[in-house]
Chains A and B, each alone.
Chain A
Amino acid sequence: MTTMTLAKALNAGLRRAMEDDPKVLVMGEDVGKLGGVFRITDGLQKDFGEERVIDSPLAESGIVGTAVGLAMRGYRPVVEIQFDGFVYPAYDQIVSQVAKLHFRSGGKIPMPMVIRIPFGGGIGAVEHHSESPEAQFAHTPGLKVVACSNPVDGYWMIQQAVASDDPVVFLEPKRQYHADKAEVDEDAVPDPLHVSRVVRAGEHATLLAYGPTVKVCYAAATAAAEEGKELEVIDLRTLSPLDMAPVYDSVSRTGRAVVVHEAHVNLGLGAELAARVTERCFYSLQAPVLRVGGFDTPYPPARVEEEWLPDLDRVLDAVDRTLAY
């Protein structure tokens, strides 16, 4: 057992993945001596060398595109995109190459690649540093998309993503990197990568969250409990594929669901979740599925981001609205 922040857990997970498989490489901007701008790769270059922890030129398409070639040569690259808003120069390589090569080649070219993206807001950053682009990748067949929310998942999920023979877009809630510590049992048997998990049981409504909003929803559920409202909180963890069984099970019991994410609501993950829940739990629903998320504007200046982001009060407001049906 070791007590770790999410940042330390991801670092420890990456380290273990590199120890387990000499084909695992880490590459990206400033991942070497600096250890990444968030220090997630801290110390890895010192211990595994410059051939395995590669400081790249400052070009995102180049990072992902060369990782494709490395994967074709039998390596398992873990690339770091420095910030969510900087992934778009690599968008073509991710969507047209990484996502499709297995399909196009009839399975002859697997793409065992992890694309790590610190995502979400709340750190007072300048523009392009606080975005939530998950829907763009979850909408792309051929990619798998996951989001961790806590140190234990960070430690295990990064190792599972590295071990996956499919490309995984790995979203890390940057606001949580250095926030909370948790006990990580390095000898535990983790849940599989692509499962969702109930993190708080409740009977009156279901909150669906991932990444940074898991903590928000947990706090909302704690506050609601003081008023006698028991909210079930599900940490989705996997965004593509979705693991809907725990969601259907929960909503069938509660009859109410609220999806909470930082990403823009329009055509976001919440829309897909609402559609699926409506299709499968239609006769159990007591209210329409509601969504709480970022508004359909570009991410705002930092001074108003806390008002723009879904917070405890906006979640509880949605809970009240769903309970009012």
Chain B
Amino acid sequence: MSSAVDGADTGALTTDPTTDLHEAGPELVQLLTPEGERVDHARFTFGAGLSAEEEAERIRGFYRDMALVRRLDVEATALQRHGELGLWAQLLGQEAAQIGAGRALRPQDFVFPTYREHGVAWCRGVDPVELLGLFRGVDQGAWDPKANNFGLYTIVIGAQTLHAVGYAMGVQRDGHVGTGDPERDTAVVAHFGDGASSQGDVNEAFVFAASYNAPVVFFCQNNQWAISEPIERQTRIPLYQRAKGFGFPGVRVDGNDVLATHAVMEAALQRARDGQGPTFVEAYTYRMGAHTTTDDPTRYRLSDELEQWKLKDPIERVKAYLTRNGLVDQAFLAEVDEEAEALGRRLREGCHALPDPHVLDVFDQVYAEQTEELAEQKAGYAAYLDTFEPEAAR
């Protein structure tokens, strides 16, 4: 086709017509169908080297993890509804993506989360009660990132992807890449979402990671919605294909398939640890809940869409697989339910018991080396508070 204006051949400038954002197609790595059937994939396998019993044990573990973090999410949402939390960012529907990614980690690996990675935090051993502090307004992330190699939640979209690449550059300088020692070689995971893929920081993170061949895995949970904006507003090609432009592999995995996510992440993490550089993993999933508890998805998406995705529920398919193959009994399922109830209770009680900070505490953590002027401000405010009656002064 020619331009009518000057006769230039604009037909030479076409985009690849095969780039359907939602066409799952052969590129989607899937090992467990929504119906709970195991399927093979040419490049990725789950459970290589495991005995049948070991494999079943792992999948039962995934089921338990996913059921418990879903309960954690439901409980935190309820706590927000009861006024105990100011806000909660729900993970409903993204359990497989997070548990698959989280369980592929080794202890020495380091994770940089967004604010929705409650499932990954669970895998890392972060006390779930500590996740509530930020949302209750008693702290801004109280867990020790070094204790579980799990960074603080990051609210500014995409900022943490650069931190992950920098951390990975540090790992390289420490000589913790490509030694062949499975307890030494270290990978770093940068979590982000489909909305964040538009951020400059994320694209800069890709450039830096590629340039330095950093041991980092970019794990993008494409949950189709950035608050109210559909994926079409962020991209015109499937996100995993962007990796090619930056010079590293990109993979699209069924993010509602815990086995596939685990298998792909295991490979990507090992590739990083081996010194082969970054990988982009797009976990194709769906945010079944709201963006956060302040959001109302009925204003911008059809309930039909949600109903369609409910059929692909990440937990139900594992349960169907385990049940159909006689790998679990009712006692196991009941036990997980009881555990979930206990976790819910622990979250409620833990949330209520979180101590409020004292306003004077805020002055002390601004700097590693306190400044005189801030110490003076604190002393001045303390003296002012002392002029009130004790109960009012708090």
Task: Mark interface residues in A131-173 (1 if CB within 8 Å of B CB, else 0).
Answer: 0000000000110100000000000000000001110000000
Most buried by A among B146, B151, B174, B204: B204
Query: Are B373 and A242 closer than 8 Å at their CB atoms?
Result: yes
| Chain B residues positioned under 8 Å from A309 (CB to CB) | none
Query: Are B170 and A70 closer than 8 Å at their CB atoms?
Result: yes
| Chain A residues positioned under 8 Å from B365 (CB to CB) | 102-103, 106-107
Q: Which residue of A lies closest to B173 (CB)?
A: A51
Residues of chain B at interface, number, CB under 8 A: 44
| Chain A residues positioned under 8 Å from B152 (CB to CB) | 101, 104-105, 109
Task: Mark interface residues in A65-92 (1 if CB within 8 Å of B CB, else 0).
Answer: 1111111111100000000000001001
Q: Which residue of B lies closest to A62 (CB)?
A: B204
**Contact residue among A62, A72, A104, A242 (Cβ-Cβ distance under 8 Å from B167):** A72
- Given A66-B169, A73-B171, A57 and B207 touching (CB < 8 A)? yes
CB A164 to nearest CB in B, in angstroms, measures 7
* Cα–Cα distance between A70 and B151 once the two chains are bound (Å): 13
- Given A69-B165, A75-B173, A92-B156, A166 and B140 touching (CB < 8 A)? no
Is B189 on the interface with A (CB-CB < 8 A)?
Answer: no
Query: Are B372 and A93 closer than 8 Å at their CB atoms?
Result: no
* Cα–Cα distance between A73 and B364 once the two chains are bound (Å): 23
- Given A69-B162, A166-B367, A166-B368, A106 and B208 touching (CB < 8 A)? no
- Given A93-B159, A102-B366, A108-B146, A65 and B204 touching (CB < 8 A)? yes
Query: Are B366 and A103 closer than 8 Å at their CB atoms?
Result: yes
CB B17 to nearest CB in A, in angstroms, measures 32
- Name the interface residues of A95-138: CB closer than 8 Å to any CB of B: 96-97, 101-110, 112
Is A15 on the interface with B (CB-CB < 8 A)?
Answer: no
Query: Are B170 and A75 closer than 8 Å at their CB atoms?
Result: yes
Query: Are A165 and B144 closer than 8 Å at their CB atoms?
Result: no
Most buried by B among A64, A93, A101, A104: A104
Query: Are B167 and A73 closer than 8 Å at their CB atoms?
Result: yes
- Given A75-B173, A106-B142, A108-B144, A66 and B165 touching (CB < 8 A)? yes
- Given A65-B162, A66-B166, A73-B166, A93 and B201 touching (CB < 8 A)? yes
Task: Mark interface residues in B145-159 (1 if CB within 8 Å of A CB, else 0).
Answer: 110000110001001
CB A278 to nearest CB in B, in angstroms, measures 16
Is A284 on the interface with B (CB-CB < 8 A)?
Answer: no
| Chain A residues positioned under 8 Å from B367 (CB to CB) | 102, 142, 144, 166
- Given A105-B152, A109-B145, A65 and B368 touching (CB < 8 A)? no
- Name the interface residues of B353-368: CB closer than 8 Å to any CB of A: 362, 364-368
User: What is the count of residue pairs linking A and B with beta-carbon distances less than 8 angstroms?
Assistant: 133
* Cα–Cα distance between A194 and B139 once the two chains are bound (Å): 30
| Chain B residues positioned under 8 Å from A69 (CB to CB) | 112, 162-170
Residues of chain A at interface, number, CB under 8 A: 45
- Given A73-B174, A103-B365, A241-B374, A65 and B166 touching (CB < 8 A)? yes
Q: Which residue of B lies closest to A243 (CB)?
A: B372
Is A61 on the interface with B (CB-CB < 8 A)?
Answer: yes
* Cα–Cα distance between A194 and B370 once the two chains are bound (Å): 12
- Given A68-B166, A104-B141, A61 and B200 touching (CB < 8 A)? yes
Query: Are B207 and A59 closer than 8 Å at their CB atoms?
Result: yes
| Chain A residues positioned under 8 Å from B325 (CB to CB) | none
| Chain B residues positioned under 8 Å from A102 (CB to CB) | 365-368
* Cα–Cα distance between A35 and B251 once the two chains are bound (Å): 39
Is B198 on the interface with A (CB-CB < 8 A)?
Answer: no
Is B369 on the interface with A (CB-CB < 8 A)?
Answer: yes
CB A167 to nearest CB in B, in angstroms, measures 9
- Name the interface residues of A225-271: CB closer than 8 Å to any CB of B: 241-242, 244
| Chain A residues positioned under 8 Å from B159 (CB to CB) | 65, 92-93, 96-97
| Chain A residues positioned under 8 Å from B201 (CB to CB) | 61-62, 65, 92-93
Is A222 on the interface with B (CB-CB < 8 A)?
Answer: no
Most buried by A among B163, B365, B369, B373: B163
Is B371 on the interface with A (CB-CB < 8 A)?
Answer: yes
Q: Which residue of A lies closest to B371 (CB)?
A: A241
CB B175 to nearest CB in A, in angstroms, measures 10
Q: Which residue of B lies closest to A240 (CB)?
A: B371
Is B205 on the interface with A (CB-CB < 8 A)?
Answer: yes
* Cα–Cα distance between A127 and B2 once the two chains are bound (Å): 41
Is A56 on the interface with B (CB-CB < 8 A)?
Answer: yes
Is B19 on the interface with A (CB-CB < 8 A)?
Answer: no
**Contact residue among B145, B204, B205 (Cβ-Cβ distance under 8 Å from A72):** B145
**Contact residue among A62, A67, A71 (Cβ-Cβ distance under 8 Å from B205):** A62
| Chain A residues positioned under 8 Å from B362 (CB to CB) | 103
Is B323 on the interface with A (CB-CB < 8 A)?
Answer: no
CB A92 to nearest CB in B, in angstroms, measures 6
Is B211 on the interface with A (CB-CB < 8 A)?
Answer: yes
Query: Are A59 and B208 closer than 8 Å at their CB atoms?
Result: yes
Task: Mark interface residues in B6-36 (1 if CB within 8 Å of A CB, else 0).
Answer: 0000000000000000000000000000000
- Given A65-B159, A107-B365, A144-B367, A57 and B139 touching (CB < 8 A)? no
| Chain A residues positioned under 8 Å from B167 (CB to CB) | 69-70, 72-73
Task: Name the 10 nearest CB pairs between A and B, nearest first.
Answer: A69-B166, A65-B162, A73-B170, A66-B166, A62-B204, A69-B167, A165-B368, A241-B371, A104-B140, A69-B163
What residues of chain A have their CB less than 8 Å away from a CB belonging to chain B?
A: 25, 51, 56-57, 59, 61-62, 64-75, 89, 92-93, 96-97, 101-110, 112, 141-142, 144, 164-166, 194, 241-242, 244
What residues of chain B have their CB less than 8 Å away from a CB belonging to chain A?
A: 112, 139-142, 144-146, 151-152, 156, 159, 161-174, 200-201, 204-205, 207-208, 211, 362, 364-369, 371-374
